[in-house]
Structure 1
């Protein structure tokens, strides 16, 4: 099946009607139609609120997606999943129970464990709430009820004979049931939840001991949600047993999370998706307890991720690993794997990784009210899950995204795996990421075509966001009120904008503070009809990895641009200045390429949005910074006790000195960290610039990604053009955690130009 065949199953008109009023049916109408009304269950109590939201999401209600590429993706994914036959989905559950089991096995990981069944319950519930399509709601309830018939008397709920009940799978079922209760107001979901929770309580608890296995640390989020929605303390108590205290506390206390890894003989790393997803559990622990340490965990974790883990796309986790300090550039250039295949397959587990990030960022916006967390959501909407190529008819998905400087392709791989579950959850939740609200303000987070109905103290307001952003730089907000009303309209000023946003109201320029990463506020009496126009600067820019000089991604606004072939007859997309249209004019070919070498560029390549790249097309997302020159450690001048090995020059002696003379505007010092890493002062042209610390835990080794050798990088940019001298003076001291005081230098990269 070709790239566009799934979209071709439904007409353009159908694709553009996602969430339109004609398809809507109220929850109450659906509940009555399907006979889901039940008397209150004895264990149901009142909903609990411990922490008030600073900002409230619309939670899949009141927001309608309007015609756009994102709306097309929602419609395409919706049509795909609604095309799956319920008998195929339920076959394994029925067969295990010994019931009649029509249909065929879906295959892949689903046939082994029903891996994404709980996620599909969740996705269908969210998609029903966001689109109002009664057929989607019927599908969610039918699947839940038919599955519930197969649950054993003791509460065992798995797809296959005993073994389909680990905590990883249980979390997905809990999420699906809680979502059906929250978004569809179906009390039956709580009855089913109580049954499977009772089984897991008996299975996991042994007196004071709690059995923990396979991503157990993601469990608290949905159990705490169940507690807050029902008031049933069993879910609070169950969630509490699975708090990831050691890991969360490392972030709450602003410590190095790699420090909690076991000793070298038991080296393991951190699985990226689940170790980001667990921060949603910390966020809900805050919601359930009000204890500030949990919110500190999530806030500090976001800062750590942004500084050390995120690519320009918003993605993270090469080969599903969080990376050691200074390790991110290596993941784009060189890789060491415990396999004969040395190529890195992907840098971001795209659908699941986006789902974890969307939730984390939304919780942060809810609990802090701060706008800058929306930047992460925006990056992933255009470059993460929003840039995936469609699945094929066999259930294969683009599991990961590749950002290598050697070039890459979008490729399908896994069949009915976890990402096929989170994809439905993602598109079902898109509408809840666009707008937020409080008592007297409406907040615009994403600049997507959408309509929102918002009620506040003075009445109801309808705001329609009309735009082709990011293909164009203008966003129009059409405001309709029954009568003149006073309220605030606030929009996120993206970090990439540098605070430059031009604002007009009803065709007249309007002065407002636009600070990057904050909300800009338009507070006034609004007429019955008003139009706000926002104009963004979408100039092409280079963006290196945070805190580094190279490699560099190229962006327009929030969109990462890929260097790819010109498509025959292809026009449109993000406009760029003619001087930047052809990357051969201003981007270097990777000078150290050994595999998949680019041929010399000609004028048949251009910059295109990553989301515009089709499956199988060859593209390059990251590039070596222009004007790079490599210096080896042997070319440096040394004084004092320095030794040599095959990798570097090193010393543990106080006052041992290294001098590097270079000509350029920027330099990146390179070396190797270690648990015996020491400290040294860095001077540039006799001026003290920093004290470097080469300590790092060397314990991160997973089967697919060996990070036991930890790189060191220190860089400075913006120097005046000309000759400079860097002097490194070893202190002969070790930090609090280090076992030694060794400084290791392996080379440097010098850049002659001040711009990319």
Structure 2
């Protein structure tokens, strides 16, 4: 079929005549490249953690003898920390995702052992309870002494979330049995709680409890979970959002985002438009009014006033948990709308929030991404940190294969540019993506089909591709407008061996700091560039035209990607791929300064916003 017979549709909103969903887990394989290397490093780190140390707090609460010589983990897993045990739930979630994507038997066996030990703890407790914090802490919460507790339901949610994903993604019926017992415990406890007491207790961070019970209601069909989900809906937060009122100033950021996940799941299950309005209004208030150029948000874990970030730059910006949870919300909203803005937001946070906060050489994470010039990232230690952002960090990396391709009744979406292979239509279609992104600004798709098939192939044309996309089909130039911030839809009868190549020109551009337009951050495509500097520096040029104050550095100064040690033979080739180093830039005048992608910066002091004067 001649190229000219293709039907091309490009729009800000992709036509979503039917629900959009990620391809099934296991249908997408990461191919050698930097994201697969990070995925592998994450997997190896998780497998290195000893089972009994992960379970230490659960054994203690169940009064089960702890094996001789076993010590608790450090950091937030230490016995004196009220959130101890939270990481185990994240661990199970990440492990289940890795197994579902790869069939990794070692990961499955480790997670199954841990689920069996949690079941053992539940039997020892004798009342359905399985947790890493004392039951009496819930009584303190219910008594209204909120200052005497940290976040007990937050911690319990992590355990239940991990068990839920072990059931849904890794097929563990034992995990479901444990969840049902714990749900019964919570149901009985809350049934005896007066409504005003329950409402007051929701002022304390409780994670994604509403989302969890909506998930259980949907997956099991059991009506008992619906009222439990409703009990954890925090009306004081949700009602203003339903009315479109911005009441987020002064709130703890990551406490709120999982509540919105729950609201969106309620929309998906009940169809009530109020819940969708809550999610869309919230996303706009955070992503458009309270976010940095990285896509991340929060200062010292809190939100300030909308559009006023000028006095927030410091050592505690962009809590990694908030980046991850906003990415989850963006994906939820994308599946409901097909709006490319949510996919763009996801990509921006992936590179500048998640990958930036991860050191692939030892797979450790940052709690915050500092934004004040002269500061540097602080990565944790393998057995002695376990901040909340360790948990969301391991989940985010385990989720990488699930964020690349989506489908609806018409066809496929290509949302991320990642070396990968996708099996679709029960294996009738195989799509392989070859790309060196972000080191190169193009991607190549090749299709293998058992028989010719008509469908729509939608390629994201990112907002940062200011010149649009240049596309060829089977080597022939394809002349159609593919504007930045849209989907290029190629709908035709595809045949075995068809090839598509898209060039997505990357260029330098700037974004001002909300509330201080004289300060700008400079980006290359989706990548925020960090200026390596020890102190504030005023640069000379046009703040809207970075080419007036930055020049591309010689090839010899380019930054190679981080090296990832070969730790296992599970994916023996995962580090070995030929890749050109990323370009870097340096100032044209004034104090010499190098600008490099933030996600490759590890220990160097840097700045993200600079005052630029003509």
Which segment is superposed worse, 565-574 or 425-434?
Answer: 565-574
Say whether the 8 Å CA contact 2:461–2:469 is kept in structure 1: yes
Which one has the largest radius of gyration?
Answer: 1
- Does 1:91 find its partner at 2:95? no
Tell me the residue number matched to 1:184. Answer: 170
Is residue 2:422 matched to residue 1:436?
no
For residues 272 and 216 of structure 2, the distance between their equivalents in structure 1, rounded to whole angstroms, comes to: 18
Whether 1:138 and 2:126 are equivalent positions in the alignment is: no
Is the Cα contact below 8 Å between 1:493 and 1:499 reproduced in 2? no
Q: Deviations over 1:243-301 (max 9, x none)?
A: 1223223222221214xx8xxxxxxx211122223211111010121101111111122
**C-alpha distance 131-570 of structure 1, shift in aligned 2 (>3 A):** farther
Q: In the superposition, relative to structure 1, how do residues 359 and 576 fare at CA in structure 2: closer, same or farther (>3 Å)?
A: closer
State the alpha-carbon separation in 2 of the partners of residues 402 and 442 from structure 1.
Answer: 38
Query: Aligned equivalents of 2:453 and 2:234: distance in 1?
Result: 47
User: CA, structure 1 residues 82+190, in 2 after alignment: closer, same or farther (shift >3 Å)?
Assistant: same
2:127 to 137, 140, 154: 154
* TM superposition shift of 1:412: 2.5
Is the partner of 2:132 in helix, strand or coil? coil
CA distance in 2 between partners of 1:576 and 1:88 (Å): 40
After the TM superposition, which residues 653-692 of structure 1 pair with which residues of structure 2 at under 5 Å, given as runs? none
**Where do residues 325-474 of structure 1 align in structure 2 (5 Å cutoff)?**
325-332=306-313, 344-350=314-320, 352-390=321-359, 397-404=365-372, 406-412=373-379, 415-455=385-425, 460-474=428-442
8 Å CA contact 2:464–2:506 kept in 1: the answer is no
Greater RCO (Cα-Cα under 8 Å, separation 6 or more): 2
Counterparts in 2 of 1:415 and 1:69: CA distance versus 1, 3 Å: same
Separation in structure 1 between the aligned mates of residue 442 and residue 361 of structure 2, nearest angstrom: 35
The answer (yes or no) to whether the contact 1:94–1:101 under 8 Å persists in 2 is yes
Question: Which consecutive aligned stretches of 4+ in structure 1 deviate over 4 angstroms post-superposition?
Answer: 565-570, 572-577
What is the aligned counterpart of 1:128 among 99, 119, 127? 99
- CA displacement 1:510-533 (0-9 Å, x = unmatched): 133423332210111112111111
Q: Which runs of 5+ in 1 are unaligned?
A: 1-50, 262-268, 333-343, 586-599, 628-756
Judged with a 3 Å threshold, the aligned counterparts in structure 2 of structure 1 residues 331 and 156 are, in CA distance, closer, same or farther, namely same
Residues 56, 366 of structure 1: 8 Å contact kept: yes
SS at match of 1:233: coil
Partner of 1:536 in structure 2? 504
Larger helix percent: 2
Matched with 1:583 is 587
Work out the CA distance in 1 between the residues paired with 2:22 and 2:467.
24
- Indicate if the aligned counterparts of 2:465 and 2:504 stay in contact, CA closer than 8 A: yes
TM-score with structure 1 setting the length: 0.67
Please, what is the CA RMSD of the aligned residues? 2.6
Higher strand share: 1
Q: How many Å separate the matches in 2 of 1:163 and 1:496? A: 52
Indicate conservation of the 8 Å contact 1:499/1:515, yes or no: yes
Cα distance in 1, alignment partners of residues 89 and 21 from structure 2: 26
Cα deviation code 1:481-503 (max 9, x no counterpart): 12222111001121222361111
Q: Provide the C-alpha distance between the structure 2 equivalents of 1:415 and 1:324, rounded to a whole number of angstroms.
A: 31
- Give aligned pairs, total: 533
Q: TM-score of the superposition, structure 2-length normalised? A: 0.82
Question: Compared with structure 1, are the counterparts of its residues 576 and 418 closer, same or farther at alpha carbon in structure 2 (3 Å cutoff)?
Answer: closer
C-alpha spacing 1:97/1:252, structure 2 compared with 1 (3 Å):
closer
Q: What does 1:8-19 align with in structure 2 at a 5 Å threshold?
A: none
Residue equivalent to 1:272: 253
1:608 corresponds to: 596
1:189-247 deviations in Å (ceiling 9; x for gaps): 22111111121223334354253253136311111011100011121110011112232
Distance in 1 of aligned mates of 2:371 and 2:194: 46
Specify the alignment match of 2:558 in structure 1. Answer: 571
